[in-house]
Amino acid sequence: MTKAHTDDNTHPASAEHARYSYQTAGISENEGYVPLWLWLVVVTLLIWGIYYLLAYWDAPAPPT
Amino acid sequence: MPDQRSSNLNEPVSTDLVNKELVRAWLWWAIVWMTVFPLVGLLVSIKFHYPDFLGETSWLTFGRLRPVHVNGVIFGAFSTTVLGLTYYLVPRLCGRRMAKEEWGWLFLWGWNIFLVSGSISLLMGYNLGFEADEFQWPFNILRGAILAGVGAQVLTTIFRREEKGFYVALWYMLAALVWTVMNLLLGNVILPYVPMSGISNTALHGLYIHYVVGLWITPAGLALMYYFLPLAVKAPLFSHRLSLLGFWSLAFFYPFVGTHHYLFSPIPYHNQTISIVTSMMLIIPVWAVITNLFGTAKGRWAAIIGNNDADSYAAKFLLLATFFYLIGCFQGSTEALRRVQELTHFTDFVISHSHFTVFATFVLAAVGSLYYVWPRVTGRQLWSAKLASWHVWLTIAGTTIMLVGLAAQGFIQGSMLEYGANFVDSVVEMKPWWVTRTLAGATMDIGFVLMTINLVMTVRAGKPFEGAADISPLAASTAQVKRAWISRPSGVFIVAGIAFFFLAVVIQGILPSILPQTYDPTVVSASTGQLIRVADYTPEERKGRQIYIREGCWYCHSQFVRPVTGENLRWGPVAQAGEYVYDQPQMLSTRRIGPDLSRVGRKYGDDWQAAHHWDPREVVPDSIMPRFPWLFETAKGDAAPQYNEDGKALVAYLQKLGSSLDDWRETFVSTRLTNGISLQANQLDRTQDILPRGKQVYLRRCVGCHGEKGDGNGPSARFLNPKPRDFTSGVFKFRSTAGGADSLPSDEDLFVTVTHGLWGTAMPPWYSIPAQERLAVIQYIKTFSPVWKNSTPAAAIDIPEEPPVTLASIARGKAQFEGVCAACHGMTGQGDGVPPGTFSDNWGHPVNPANFTLPAGAPGGVKLGHDGRHIFKTIMTGVGGTPMPALAGVFTPQQTWDIVHYVQSLRVDAHMTALKLAGVSDPAEEARFCTSTVPWLKSACDSFVLPIVNFCSVGGPQSARVSGARFQMTEARAKLWAALSEAADRQQIDAQVLQLDQPQLAFIQTAATTNKVKLP
């Protein structure tokens, strides 16, 4: 959402403090942010996922 | 149902964005279904500890009520609320009235007709056979049409909206409806009707069932949470960027995860791996949503907790749902990990997860939304804060106890089974937990009843609500708001709704289905390693399969032996893809309240099955299986009831299960007769101390057939033929002891019989109970007869080392056999030397000579297999209580071994004949993929499709596949001999004995280590 209008005047220069109000819904939302810790979770999971896909793409050979 | 007084409050309706009368009508029905369908679950749960509860009526058995509960909660309690609230939130978020709003009335009544008639059809046994996809086509058409209609209304309203913002709740609602309409096509059309059977069917069903949860319940529920939570807590949504992360990661990853329902199955390994990875990736959207919603409530907790109006109770339920979403989804992600699933799959851990997500998260989200909207569509304040508070706390208490308890149960049962516990013992361990589950469920249901009373009284006696004023639609605007494609309706609709969905269906559903092993009707023989064809069902077996589906047997019994946790030692060989090619619907199942049945064929005789279906607890006192008296003709007098046509068909189907893998019981390690030898090194303390334990074992395992007095007259004995052993006589069939056919057996002999079971009779193998239990019960059954006090078993006969198996020894054995044994067993050893009914045992029951050519478990065949030492002992000591005499004085040990070899050769020959009949096929024919006669089409297939197939075949089912080299039938014959003869251990099977088949057949070779398909 690039042109959200801002109701919150305390941080007019900050995009993440932009707020959009829905006129008939009685609701508004902040542009907000994604916390750093969650980005770390995302990156960690993606790395693990790629590893797991590669490591376990094939079934392990049965014991001989 | 709608209250006339309240419906007049909001007139004229047309001035408002929202048609409150329509929303109110939907929500009235939502309240009804929220009360009814969870209560059905309560009835179902009672059956776990009182299995006879409501058990005499076919309509009310577990197998009929369970789908009513599951579908009722999903499509009744949850979906009715969601659809009703759709007519509230979509117009408000779009700034215009719902498109074709009047259709909502039609859909409401159609939806209720679907729920009522569909539920009745399930109770009647009309079941499609797919979990969460049980309704037959008329109900599916009705449901699909309504959801498509609502989807069309929502899409139209969104694309014509006056509010230029496009809120996250609309993303989810739009996507949920698009996904679900496509998923219903998958589940209601492709799964049952397009010829994609077996493992293809399984792969697609895994997707379907998780799409119901992940692409309908989850996004529709999140739509409610995203809209009503900010309203209820009176705060702006925390972060639009988190909404983007949550929605798009869910849309991308969720469509792939469904395969995790069938980990360790013959579905290609890499598809399973993809589902595991994407399941773990779901942590991303879940944590994004949690952060967003809790962030929204930040700073508002005092008001949420302290206030007593409807909005605060709405917030409480919505935040409770958010918390359970975190727990339930983390549980689900980790449950997909292979090691976790080894332990927990098929147990109540799965039930905990499904209740965490469906009920505790999204039904509670719907409840919270209902609390918020109800005053606004009725114009009345909530009648009682106290009742609402009770509802909250009863829900917290009941839900927490039930779900934590179920998860704990899962670990307990899974651990017991992993460490080799008897399956029924693990069920017994669950019974107190199931009582707790029922009490917890009742607590939750009481909460729903209180909610219903409260909401009804709100309409009848609530004070006027000030916040119910109409909101007018927005005027048409030409203002433009520029947004990235990921937050535009077209982006959500096309990319998330359609593209991601199809990408996942192709990778996880379609590609596995074009691999030859998923439709090739061949398996690797468990006894010979030979590639053999799988026979299709006979008409009667197919009918039996329908009965199996109708009665819901598949809700409790899986058909899928995994290569983990010792399941191949518990039930038999690991599942192979080829076994399932004629199965549509597939019956792998996702739950084991009873044992796996994929290897049950010929484990028990038809008579045992009849006794078990008539009353399971007469046979297995600890069983919780329902009775099925409607599978029997009306009983005449005291005679045992006889199966009707449905019952016969069901048993024919059950006896077919597992037979596709060839006669594997003869080589099944858990019942090898050499197990008895371990006793010699494990001398039991045979003091009186062991008797109480033995009695306990007897009363739980044996009393149903052998009776409390040990006289063979247990409650199920009237069904059984041959009759159960009368222990009071002190006569036993199989012994190694000298002294004639009525000599007492040794403990080792009895241990062998108890462990192995007696094929073709009702005596099952008991290898799955601890050896100490088997030893204890042996001591206990000796108390039934004074013979054991007055005499002791003689020493075991001397069994000289088995000589080499040669054509000459077989020929000598044949001569001896024809001279003596053939008089009863027939010249070809088929038990036809005398007419049936000629002989009877000591108790006057008819007995017939054994047919040595039959496979394991076939009626009339040998009872303890064709093991060489066993046959030797039987010839020398006779069969107690029957006309089979001890022939120790007739044959020398050498002659006896010759006869043993001849008898074994009869079975090996018959087995080889059966293998040849099963179809040994040309590997080139089996493996061919691109078969088109159109040159360019074949070329295109070879160039483009074949590489994909080859790539995807890597890491597929662990079953052996064609390697293309030639296989000598000699090796198959050698494996059969090796299973029967100790001489094989010393390489003393003469080569000539193994080369009888050459060179009459075309041969193929199987490789046991790869499933890589070699294509011509």
**The pLDDT of residue A64:** 59
CA gap B665, B672 in Å, rounded: 9
**The pLDDT of residue B1004:** 40
**The pLDDT of residue B234:** 95
For chain B, the structural domain boundaries read 17-464+485-509, 526-661, 669-790, 807-906, 920-1007
pLDDT band at B953 (very low <50, low <70, confident <90, very high): low
Mean predicted lDDT score pLDDT of chain B = 89
**The pLDDT of residue B941:** 76
Residue of A6, A19, A27 to mutate, interface with B, max B Cβ within 10 Å: A27
CA gap B756, B706 in Å, rounded: 17
CA gap B139, B161 in Å, rounded: 32
For B629-687, the pLDDT digits (tens) are 999 998 777 789 999 999 999 999 999 999 998 899 988 888 877 655 555 445 555 55
pLDDT band at B931 (very low <50, low <70, confident <90, very high): low
Percent of chain B with pLDDT over 70: 91
Class of domain B17-464+485-509: mainly alpha
Give Cβ neighbours of residue B74 (< 8 Å, ≥ 6 apart): B132, B212, B216, B217, B358
**The pLDDT of residue B567:** 94
pLDDT band at B879 (very low <50, low <70, confident <90, very high): very high
Is residue B154 scored above 60 in pLDDT? Answer: yes
Per-residue H/E/C for B119-183? HHHHHHCCCCCCCCCCCCHHHHHHHHHHHHHHHHHHHHHHHCCCCCCCCHHHHHHHHHHHHHHHH
| CB nearest B280 (choices: A25, A45, A59) | A45
Contact of B945 with B931, CB cutoff 8 Å: no
| Other beta carbons less than 10 A from residue A3's beta carbon | 12
For B304-336, the pLDDT digits (tens) are 999 999 999 999 999 999 999 999 999 999 999
| CB nearest A23 (choices: B474, B482, B1011) | B474
Q: Which two structure tokens, joined as six digits, stand for B608?
A: 């045992």
How far off is chain B from A5, nearest CA to CA, in Å? Answer: 10
CA gap B559, B575 in Å, rounded: 8
| CB nearest B955 (choices: A27, A32, A57) | A57
Q: Is B464 helix (H, G, I), strand (E, B) or coil?
A: strand
For B545-558, the pLDDT digits (tens) are 999 999 999 999 99
Chain A residues within an 8 Å CB radius of B481: 1, 3
Crossing angle for the helix pair B807-816 and B893-919, nearest 10 degrees?
Answer: 110
CA gap B288, B285 in Å, rounded: 5
Is residue B2 scored above 90 in pLDDT? Answer: no
The number of angstroms, rounded, from the C-alpha of B879 to the middle of its chain's C-alpha atoms is 41
Contact of B134 with B122, CB cutoff 8 Å: yes
B277·A32 Cβ contact <8 A: no
Chain B residues within an 8 Å CB radius of A14: none
Fold of B807-906: Cytochrome Bc1 Complex; Chain D, domain 2 (1.10.760)
Is residue B966 scored above 90 in pLDDT? Answer: no
**The pLDDT of residue B634:** 85
ipTM of the complex: 0.87
Locate the chain B residue with the closest alpha carbon to A43. B284
B227·A20 Cβ contact <8 A: no
How far off is chain B from A9, nearest CA to CA, in Å? Answer: 14
**The pLDDT of residue A63:** 63
| Other beta carbons less than 10 A from residue B744's beta carbon | 21
Chain A residues within an 8 Å CB radius of B237: 27-30, 32
Q: Does A31 lie at the interface with B, CB-CB under 8 angstroms?
A: yes
**The pLDDT of residue B217:** 98
Give the mean pLDDT of B758-762. 93
Q: Which two structure tokens, joined as six digits, stand for B612?
A: 């078990």
**The pLDDT of residue B677:** 53
Is residue B395 scored above 70 in pLDDT? Answer: yes
A26·B231 Cβ contact <8 A: yes
Locate the chain A residue with the closest alpha carbon to B1011. A59
**The pLDDT of residue B965:** 33
**The pLDDT of residue A27:** 93
DSSP string for residues in B777-820: HHHHHGGG-THHHH--PPPBPP-PPPPPB-HHHHHHHHHHIIII
pLDDT band at B963 (very low <50, low <70, confident <90, very high): very low
**Which residue matches tokens 């005053």?**
B375
- Determine phi and psi for B839, rounding to 5 degrees: -105, 155
Residues in chain B: 1016
pLDDT band at B503 (very low <50, low <70, confident <90, very high): very high
Chain A residues within an 8 Å CB radius of B284: 41-42, 45
**Is residue B940 packed enough to be buried (19+ CB in 10 Å), middle (13-18) or exposed (0-12)?**
middle
pLDDT band at B958 (very low <50, low <70, confident <90, very high): very low
CA gap B994, B528 in Å, rounded: 13
Give Cβ neighbours of residue B365 (< 8 Å, ≥ 6 apart): B221, B222, B224, B225, B317, B318, B321
Is residue B486 scored above 90 in pLDDT? Answer: no
Bridge partners of A19? A30
Q: Does A54 lie at the interface with B, CB-CB under 8 angstroms?
A: no
| CB nearest A22 (choices: B93, B239, B1010) | B93
Chain A residues within an 8 Å CB radius of B243: 29
Contact of B10 with B20, CB cutoff 8 Å: yes
* Count of pairs with CB atoms under 8 A, one residue in A, one in B: 142
pLDDT band at B792 (very low <50, low <70, confident <90, very high): confident
Contact of B97 with B33, CB cutoff 8 Å: no
Is residue B924 scored above 50 in pLDDT? Answer: no
Locate the chain A residue with the closest alpha carbon to B284. A42
Q: Is B935 helix (H, G, I), strand (E, B) or coil?
A: helix
**Which residue matches tokens 């179920």?**
B406
Q: Which of B872, B866, B830 is nearest to B848 (CA)?
A: B830
Helix, strand, coil % (nearest 5) of chain A? 35, 10, 50
CA gap B606, B213 in Å, rounded: 40
B273·A53 Cβ contact <8 A: yes
A32·B237 Cβ contact <8 A: yes
Is residue B611 scored above 80 in pLDDT? Answer: yes
The H or E element that residue B454 is part of is helix B423-461
Bridge partners of A30? A19
For B778-789, the pLDDT digits (tens) are 999 999 999 998
Is residue B688 scored above 60 in pLDDT? Answer: no
Find the range with the poorest average confidence among B3-12, B223-232, B489-498, B636-645.
B3-12
CA gap B257, B275 in Å, rounded: 4
Is residue B402 scored above 50 in pLDDT? Answer: yes
Fold of B526-661: Cytochrome Bc1 Complex; Chain D, domain 2 (1.10.760)
Q: Does A59 lie at the interface with B, CB-CB under 8 angstroms?
A: yes
Contact of B236 with B531, CB cutoff 8 Å: no
DSSP string for residues in B228-241: HHHHHHTS-BS-HH
Beta strands B531-533 and B522-524 are: antiparallel
Find the range with the poorest average confidence among B48-62, B737-751, B795-809.
B737-751
For B256-285, the pLDDT digits (tens) are 999 999 999 999 999 999 999 999 999 999
Higher local confidence (pLDDT), B124 or B512: B124
How far off is chain A from B1011, nearest CA to CA, in Å? Answer: 10
Fold of B669-790: Cytochrome Bc1 Complex; Chain D, domain 2 (1.10.760)
Is residue B501 scored above 70 in pLDDT? Answer: yes
How far off is chain A from B845, nearest CA to CA, in Å? Answer: 49
B288·A26 Cβ contact <8 A: no
Bridge partners of B437? none
Give the mean pLDDT of B44-70. 95
Chain B residues within an 8 Å CB radius of A23: 95, 163, 474
For B517-540, the pLDDT digits (tens) are 778 888 888 888 877 888 899 999
Give Cβ neighbours of residue B67 (< 8 Å, ≥ 6 apart): B122, B127, B134, B552, B555
Q: Does A30 lie at the interface with B, CB-CB under 8 angstroms?
A: yes
Q: Does A52 lie at the interface with B, CB-CB under 8 angstroms?
A: yes
CA gap B526, B918 in Å, rounded: 13
Contact of A32 with B294, CB cutoff 8 Å: no
| Other beta carbons less than 10 A from residue B845's beta carbon | 14
**The pLDDT of residue B926:** 46
Q: Which two structure tokens, joined as six digits, stand for B935?
A: 């040159």
| CB nearest B273 (choices: A3, A27, A57) | A57
Whole-angstrom CA distances from B383 to B409, B460, B788 are 39, 9, 77
For B429-453, the pLDDT digits (tens) are 999 999 999 999 999 999 999 999 9
**The pLDDT of residue B1012:** 28
pLDDT band at B14 (very low <50, low <70, confident <90, very high): very low
Residue of B85, B256, B277 to mutate, interface with A, max A Cβ within 10 Å: B277
Locate the chain A residue with the closest alpha carbon to B230. A27
For B97-110, the pLDDT digits (tens) are 999 999 999 999 99
A27·B231 Cβ contact <8 A: yes
Locate the chain A residue with the closest alpha carbon to B279. A49
HSE toward the beta carbon, residue B564, CA cutoff 13 A? 15
**The pLDDT of residue B967:** 47
Contact of B45 with B405, CB cutoff 8 Å: no
**Is residue B284 packed enough to be buried (19+ CB in 10 Å), middle (13-18) or exposed (0-12)?**
buried
Note whether B526-661 and B807-906 share their fold: yes
Q: Is B759 helix (H, G, I), strand (E, B) or coil?
A: coil
CA gap B187, B570 in Å, rounded: 33
Q: Is the peptide bond before B236 cis (omega within 30 degrees of 0)?
A: no
pLDDT band at A61 (very low <50, low <70, confident <90, very high): confident
B231·A24 Cβ contact <8 A: no
**The pLDDT of residue B577:** 92
Largest alpha-carbon pair distance within chain A? 71
**The pLDDT of residue B233:** 96
For B813-849, the pLDDT digits (tens) are 999 999 999 999 999 999 999 998 899 998 888 999 9
| CB nearest B284 (choices: A23, A31, A41) | A41
Give the mean pLDDT of B973-994. 86
CA gap B122, B721 in Å, rounded: 36
A2·B241 Cβ contact <8 A: no
Q: Which of B19, B178, B150, B176 is nearest to B88 (CA)?
A: B19
A31·B270 Cβ contact <8 A: no
CA gap B862, B396 in Å, rounded: 59
Give the mean pLDDT of B955-961. 37
pLDDT band at B487 (very low <50, low <70, confident <90, very high): confident
Q: Is the peptide bond before B255 cis (omega within 30 degrees of 0)?
A: no
pLDDT band at A17 (very low <50, low <70, confident <90, very high): confident
Give the mean pLDDT of B950-977. 58
